[in-house]
């Protein structure tokens, strides 16, 4: 798409694209032409469609504080499998605990791992409950109080 620089001042570069749209690119000290070329490229709308002014949620002379109109993101929900995965030991820790056992050593590390996993499974049962990351972190905080929980 073609563009024309229609004005440059100490605060901004005004750009008009051949589809009739415009962009204001803020000027920044010490930036080269490639920096501005990238901003000009990223500022062009991909598709331009006419919309009824009444359907635009902002109206002329509206004021506000930056960010206030952005809704808070909803927390992702996890089933019991996903929730347990936060509290289970890492794969590396699991492998380290099993290696001595499978190579003819003792099962003491495996026994500790079994206790940890049972603790997690009891705290997060296999049911239809959905957990947020906040819920899971609260569970982990409680689990850490138990000596069976491997830190």
Q: Across the 151 residues of the chain, what is the mean pLDDT of every consecutive 10-residue run?
A: 94 92 93 94 82 91 86 88 93 82 78 92 95 95 94 80
Give tens-digit pLDDT for 111-126: 888 999 999 999 999 9
Domain of 26 in residue numbering reads as 3-49
For the chain, the domain total comes to 2
Do 139 and 82 reside in the same domain of the chain?
yes
Q: Does 44 reside within a domain?
A: yes
Do 98 and 41 reside in the same domain of the chain?
no
- Whether the full predicted model's pTM is greater than 0.75, yes or no, is no
Do 81 and 44 reside in the same domain of the chain?
no
Long-range contacts of 139-148 (CB under 8 A, 24+ apart): 139/83, 139/87, 140/86, 140/87, 143/87, 143/119, 146/119, 148/112, 148/115, 148/116, 148/118, 148/119
Q: Does 45 reside within a domain?
A: yes
Do 128 and 85 reside in the same domain of the chain?
yes
Give tens-digit pLDDT for 68-93: 888 888 889 999 999 999 999 888 88
């Amino acid at each position: 798409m073609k563009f024309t620089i229609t004005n440059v001042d100490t605060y901004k570069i005004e750009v008009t694209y051949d589809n009739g749209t415009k962009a204001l690119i803020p000027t920044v000290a010490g930036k080269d032409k490639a920096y501005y070329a990238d901003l000009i490229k990223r500022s062009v709308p991909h598709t331009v469609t006419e919309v009824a002014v009444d359907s635009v949620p902002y109206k002329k002379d509206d004021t506000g504080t930056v960010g206030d109109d952005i809704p808070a993101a909803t927390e992702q929900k996890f089933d019991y499998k996903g929730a347990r995965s936060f509290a289970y030991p890492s794969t590396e820790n699991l492998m380290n605990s099993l290696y001595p056992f499978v190579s003819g050593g003792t099962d003491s590390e495996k026994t500790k791992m079994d206790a940890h996993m049972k603790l997690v499974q009891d705290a997060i049962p296999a049911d239809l409950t959905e957990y947020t990351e906040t819920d899971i972190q609260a569970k982990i905080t409680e689990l850490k109080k138990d000596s069976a929980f491997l830190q």
